[in-house]
Amino acid sequence: MKCSFCEQPLVCKACHKPFHPRQGQTHLSAYQPDMEVICPECHQVLVCRACGYVYGEEDEDEAPPR
């Protein structure tokens, strides 16, 4: 699978394993900018190793008030 931002092969920055979603819903979530995607190998939020794009990072405008 390719990164939706940089088009490089999607490899998890935390565990250095290629991202291969185990469920169809996870695959679709990777293309939704507001959905958090968890790496099935290390269970961390998915971050592209090539470009650093975070799959599920909250925008500052959308962060809950403190």
Considering the domain boundaries, does residue 32 fall inside one?
yes
Whether 36 has a pLDDT exceeding 80, the answer reads yes
Give the pLDDT band (50/70/90) at residue 57.
low
Within a domain: 18: yes
Give the C-alpha separation, 64 to 58, whole Å. Answer: 9
Domain hosting residue 36, numbered range: 1-58
pLDDT level of residue 42 (50, 70, 90 thresholds): very high
pTM above 0.85, yes or no: no
Domain assignment of residue 52, yes or no: yes
Residue 22 has pLDDT above 70, yes or no: yes
Cβ-in-10-Å burial (0-12, 13-18, 19+) of 27 comes to middle
The domain total for the chain is: 1
Calculate Rg over the CA atoms of the chain: 12
Structure tokens at 27: 């695959």
